[in-house]
Chains A and B, each alone.
Chain A
Amino acid sequence: MPNVLTYAEVRAGDLRKISLEAVSTARALADAYGGEVHVVLSGGPGVGSHAGTLGEHGADAVFVTEHEALAQYNPEALSALVAGRARNGYSAVLVGASARGRDLAPRVAAKLGAAILSDVTSLRREGDALVATHPVYTGKVLATLRLTSGDAAAVVSLRPGAFSATQAPRTARVEAAPPAGDPSAVRVQVKETTTADSRKLDLAEAPVIVSGGRGLKAAQNFKLVEDLAAAFGNAAVGATRAVTDDGWRPHSDQIGQTGRQVSPELYVAVGISGAIQHIAGMRASRCIVAINKDAEAPIFKVADYGIVGDVFEVVPALTAAIRELRARS
C-alpha cells in the first residue's frame, strides 16, 4: 500500500499550518513509497474550500466530510472517520501533533489496531519500516525509533514546526465522503468552549516569561516588565520572591523554589540578581537572558545571554526592538 493518508486540522474554519506540514511530509513519504497522498478534510459546512490549498502542498485526493457536528473538534466522530478511511490500505496515517492531533492519533491507532509513533521530529521510510526521531526524557535525549508493522498501517503524529510546509502543486481529486455513523451521537459532550485571554497567559504555558526583581527599585517600575511582555505578545510576567514579599506583585507570580517552577522557551530576567531559590525555579528554561547592572550578579552564570546595564535604559530599548520585530513578521 504505497499511499499515505493524512488528516487536515481545521480550527475556527481555518486550515492550520500543521495540516500543511503534515501534507508535505506525507508527500515526501508517498514519493518514497511511490504512492499517493490522500487527505481527510472534515469540519462544518464549507470546509471543502480548503481542498485547493491541500492540493498545492501535494495532496492527490481530498475526502471532504461536512457536518454541523464536525464544526467543533469531535474526537469520537473524527477518529471513526479517519480510521474508516485508513482501512482502505495505507502505509501510514500522518497527523499533526497539536493538542487535538495528540488526542486524535491514538484513537485512530486503537481503532486500526495499529502501532503509533508520537510527536516525531523527523520521519523517513527504510524498507518496510518507518524510522523517526522523537525527543524523550524532557527533551534531554533524542530517540531514533523504528516502526515495523508489516502490512498493517502505522499512525504517526508530527511535532508542529519540526517539518516544513512545502509546495508540490497538483489538482487534488475531491470526493465527498459521508461521516462514519452519526457524528452527533457522542458520549463525551462539549458543554462549553472558552477562548484564552491572551493577556493572562499562565506561567506554566507561556513560551516567553519576562521576570522582574529588586533591581526595578519600586513597584510602579514593573510597568517596564509588563511592556516588554506585551511587546513579545506571547509572554507572561513573573517575579522574584523579594518583590512578591514586598507586595509589588501577587504571590502567584513568584518564580522560584517556593513559587512556580517554569521552563519556557525564553526567560528574560530583569533586575534580578539570581538568588539560589529563584534560579532553582527557572533553570530549566531553554534560553535565559539576564539584564542587570551588576556584572558580578549570580544570574549571569546561568544566563545564555547577558547585558550589563541599567534596566531603565536597556529594557525600553529591548521593548522597542521586539515590538518592531513583531510588527515586521
Chain B
Amino acid sequence: MKLFRRTPRAPRTRVFFATDLHGSERCFRKWLNAAAAYEADVLILGGDLTGKMLVPLVADGAGGHRGELHGEPVHARDNAELEELTKRIRMMGRYPIVLTREEKAEMDADPAALDARFNQAMEDGLRAWVELADERLADADVAVFTMLGNDDSPALADVLRGAERSTYAEDGIVELPGGFEMASFGYSTPTPWHTPRELEEEEMATRLDEVIGRLRDPKHAVFNLHCPPAGTHLDQAAKLDDDLRPVVDASGLVMTSVGSTAVREAIERHQPLLGLHGHVHESPGSERLGATLCVNPGSEYGDGVLRGAIVDLEAERGVARWQLVQG
C-alpha cells in the first residue's frame, strides 16, 4: 500500500510574481485576483507599473468626444459612451485624457504641459490601483509587495508607500511568510530610451552590494531584481537599429542580451534561492545560475494577459516547485 500513500507536504510559502504591467488595468485586476486563484501567500509586483501612452479624447463641440485607437478613429457620442471608451483604453494600459480643442492645442504646442499631464495621469492611475488593492485585499490572508521599475518615475514611490495593504519592497529587506528574506532593486542598466531609473553597470553593482549586504543570509533569500541577469534566456531582446526598428536577417529577428552583468555577478556570488526578474517582456523563461532559479515571466500587458510565476518555497528544499502561468 506504500505505493498509494502520499508523502505529507512540508509547509510552503507560495509566491505569485508578476511584473511590467505598464498601466494595464486589466492585468492589475487579474493580479489582485491571483492570490485567491493560485492560493498564493505572497503577491509581488516587480516594477514598471506605469503606462507608456496618453490617448487624447477631444470634445467635438456636440457633446461627444473623438480620438484614435490602433490607427482607427473612435467617437463617443455622449457621456455613457465616453465612459465605455475610457474604460477600454485603460484596460489596454493607456491613459485616456479628456480635453477641449484648446487644451489639446496647448498640449501639442507645449512639451512641459504634456509632461505635466503625463505625470498626473501616471500618478492618478497608480493611486487608483493602490486604493483598489487596499479595498480588495483588505481581508485577504496574503502578504503584498510592490516596487517601481526602470520605467517608473522615482517620485511615484511615495504613492506606493502610502498603501495600507501592501509594502513598498525597495525601502529595505522585507520578510516573506515562512521567514524568507527578500531584497528588491528596480533599476536597470541603460536603455535606448533613457528611462527614469537607469544605472551604469558599476553603479548598479555598488547599489546591489548595499541592498544585498543588508540580508542576514543571502543564500536563503529571494532577489527581486527588475533587471534580469545578462547572457541568459531571460534577457534576450530584439536588437534595434538607430531608428529603434528590430534588426532582421535571413535567420529571423536578431536577438541580443540586454540584462545586467552586475545582477548576474550578484546572483552567481551569493546564490540566493530565487531570482525574480522582469524588464524584458519578450523573454519569458527560467534559468538556473548555479543553485539559483531565475525566472522572468515576461509581459503581455498590452493584450491584457497577466504573465506570472508561481513559486513554492520550503524551508528545507528552498524552491520546491515553480511554474510560469499566463492568466
Binding partners A and B:
no
Interface residues in chain B, defined as those with a beta carbon under 8 Å from any beta carbon in chain A: none
